[in-house]
Amino acid sequence: MAKQEIIIIRYGHREVRDYRVTGHCGLVSRAFGAKKMIVCGEKDESIVNTITGVNKTWGKGMDIEFTDSWKSAVTKLKKKGFTIAHLTMYGLPVQEVEEELSTKKKLAVIIGSQKVEREVYNEADFNVAVTAQPHSEIAALAVFLDRVQKGVELSMDFKGAKCQIIPQEKGKKVINLKDLK
Amino acid sequence: MAKQEIIIIRYGHREVRDYRVTGHCGLVSRAFGAKKMIVCGEKDESIVNTITGVNKTWGKGMDIEFTDSWKSAVTKLKKKGFTIAHLTMYGLPVQEVEEELSTKKKLAVIIGSQKVEREVYNEADFNVAVTAQPHSEIAALAVFLDRVQKGVELSMDFKGAKCQIIPQEKGKKVINLKDLK
């Protein structure tokens, strides 16, 4: 796992419409070392199945939870000592705050979906922009996690994996770790 | 624009199913300095409208084209001197190839969607992995472009923008550039 304890808060997930985008956010969170994703919105079994399925094959990476209230989730995390970063194109450039954020032992990252209410900006300790251009919360999350963790997440091990990729110049090579035991 | 000339090739776009994901890919390509996105698949006006709408408000960033054949697109780009990088979890770690790729003046990046055929791996000059875990082509693209361009894309100007964001610790500040003229 990552050296920092990282939790992702997915704000405003709407089932069906957001399934694929929240799915991508979940897979990125896991692959980039987050311990947990908290989804604010309707409980969505398809997202849970996506993450647990990937955990089973590629190793234990991340838990997923649902909540009705982003605010109570944030309040609880603050009490536990988490710094709250909210990703928004209106915030401070990531390249100016990444150094400070990389020193935080506990970091929670809010990513939006539908229009984010003003209170999120106020509750966040840091509002952070990955470019000041409109693009994708999935992309912003990945670049943010890569920069704050200084790339250590790119070569993490995932415990309990059934399969592991051996990097190749061309083609695919996957070893079945269960066969090796 | 970015110092490198970067073109994104979106492999295997299927209208309706892929609209949101290809839309995110397009917006990321634009925000991270690509000159053009070539979408392989059915012509999809909604994607065109998304990109041209954002170009209009936030400045000229990227063209979009459609093609029936990824292979002829790749062949043409190779003839023009482009190096072809294909993003895949099975490839070489981005942290091992980013330095070499950052020296290429012309770089084309293939991102997959549905299952990618073996020929793509063979035609690519580099098969590149952003982690060896399954996650998101949107995230992989963003991290790849950020690393290869060493972050210069994060503070690019977009010519002809109507609006520009002034980064804030809390809240939103947007100036209307047309008012200033």
Residue with tokens 């055929």: B117
pLDDT in tens, B20-71: 889 999 999 999 999 999 999 888 899 999 999 999 999 988 999 999 999 9
B123-140 burial: b if 16+ Cβ within 10 Å, else e: bbbbbbbbbbbebbbbbb
pLDDT for residue A120: 96
Number of residue pairs across A and B with CB atoms under 8 Å? Answer: 170
pTM, full prediction: 0.96
Q: Is the pLDDT of residue B14 over 80?
A: no
- Per cent of chain A over pLDDT 70 is 95
pLDDT in tens, A169-181: 999 999 998 766 5
d(C-alpha B135, C-alpha A25), whole Å: 8
A127 touches chain B (CB under 8 A): yes
B30-48 burial: b if 16+ Cβ within 10 Å, else e: bbbbbbbbbbbbeebeebb
B180-to-A96, A117, B97, B163, B167 alpha-carbon distances in Å: 27, 29, 44, 11, 18
Interface pTM, i.e. ipTM: 0.96
Q: Tell if the CB–CB gap between A90 and B138 is shorter than 8 Å.
A: no
For residue A89, which residues of chain B lie inside 8 Å, CB to CB? 165
